[in-house]
Amino acid sequence: MENHKGNKFSFSSFLGFLSLWLIFFCSALFLKSVFLFKISKYEIFRNNNIFTIFEVHNTGAAFNILSNHQEFIIIASFIALLILTAVIIYYSAGISFLSRISMALLSAGISVNTFERINYGYVTDYFYFNLFPDIPVFNVPDIMIVIGASLIIYSVIRRK
Let me know if 134 is a catalytic residue: no
Contact criterion met (CB below 8 Å) for 77 and 68: no
What gap in Å lies between CA 51 and CA 14, rounded to an integer? 37
What gap in Å lies between CA 139 and CA 41, rounded to an integer? 19
Catalytic entry in 125, 139, 141, 148: 125
Let me know if 125 is a catalytic residue: yes
14, 73, 137 from 67: Cα distances, Å: 35, 9, 14
Q: Kindly report the backbone phi and psi dihedral angles of residue 55, in degrees, each rounded to the nearest multiple of 5, phi listed first.
A: -85, 130
Query: Cβ–Cβ contacts within 10 Å for residue 96, how many?
Result: 15
Catalytic entry in 141, 142, 144, 152: 142
Q: What distance separates the 2 farthest-apart alpha carbons in the chain?
A: 53
Known catalytic residues are: 125, 142
